[in-house]
């Protein structure tokens, strides 16, 4: 098969895709390139088939209050968010908040959160490094261009010896003081629909008691 003397069967293509850890979209593309029909459906997010999923996501977002949480597509496009996301978006230029909002651009843009992010060098580099790791796994010219844009907004970082890149907290100035937030990412690992598999939930959690108190007082938690 590697030398082109034998064409892989459909099952072999699927097994190769699983072994390589390809996304569902990439698995469909590999099947097409091998001459087979795509295996995984791609529903619109508004399709009736995904109505139970949308309802469940709204419950998760509401349940995370008074802390910010957002559902995003690949590369940071916001699908849904809870009310507490306002603490991140406050003061941002209106054009950055017009749908479709990109939460990653919002986070580091000079007209977005950047003037209030006290550790923009570390936080911005954390975002860029995460996207760059994704680019290595799944090359995409669109992501290349997006990364180049974000690089323009982020100052160079000079991490110290105790720096933990995977655990960079967001230090954000707000009217009530400084928020220190950590994030968790939840993906839909067992999804068999391309659209659902590409979504993930980014939930912000207070990294100290003062941050928790500020958010509870602001959003009534």
Residue 208: predicted pLDDT? 93
Residues 33 and 142 in one domain: no
At 5, list the tokens: 């003397």
pLDDT tens digit sequence for 128-156:
988 888 888 778 888 899 999 999 999 88
Phi/psi for 167 (5° steps) reads: -130, 40
Residues 3 and 59 in one domain: no
Residues 109 and 182 in one domain: yes
**Rounded Cα distance, 169 and 159, in Å:** 13
pLDDT tens digit sequence for 105-122:
999 999 999 999 999 988
Indicate the pLDDT class of residue 221, thresholds 50, 70 and 90: low
Is the separation of the CB atoms in 214 and 176 below 8 Å?
yes
Domain that holds residue 3: 1-40
* pTM for this prediction: 0.83
**Rounded Cα distance, 6 and 8, in Å:** 6
Is the separation of the CB atoms in 50 and 195 below 8 Å?
yes
* C-beta contacts of 27-33 below 8 A and 24+ residues apart: 28/194
Q: Is the pLDDT of residue 160 over 70?
A: no
CATH (domain of 62): 3.30.450.20
């Amino acid at each position: 098969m590697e030398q082109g003397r034998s064409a892989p069967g459909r099952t072999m293509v699927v097994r190769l895709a699983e072994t390589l850890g390809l996304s569902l979209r990439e698995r469909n593309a590999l099947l097409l390139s091998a001459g087979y029909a795509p295996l995984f459906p791609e529903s619109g997010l508004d399709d009736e088939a995904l109505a139970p999923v949308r309802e469940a996501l709204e419950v998760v977002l509401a349940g995370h209050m008074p802390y910010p949480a957002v559902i995003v597509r690949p590369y940071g496009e916001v699908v849904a968010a809870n009310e507490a996301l306002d603490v991140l978006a406050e003061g941002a230029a209106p054009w950055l908040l017009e749908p479709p909002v990109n939460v990653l651009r919002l986070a580091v843009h000079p007209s977005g959160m950047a003037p209030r992010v006290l550790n923009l060098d570390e936080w911005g580099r954390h975002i860029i490094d995460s996207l760059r790791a994704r680019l290595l796994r799944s090359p995409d010219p669109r992501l290349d261009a997006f990364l180049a844009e974000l690089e323009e907004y982020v100052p160079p970082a000079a991490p110290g010896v105790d720096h933990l890149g995977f655990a960079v907290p967001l230090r954000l100035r707000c009217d009530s003081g400084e928020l220190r937030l950590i994030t968790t990412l939840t993906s839909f690992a067992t999804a068999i629909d391309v659209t659902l598999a590409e979504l993930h939930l980014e939930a912000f959690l207070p990294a100290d008691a003062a941050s928790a108190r500020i958010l509870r007082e602001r959003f009534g938690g």
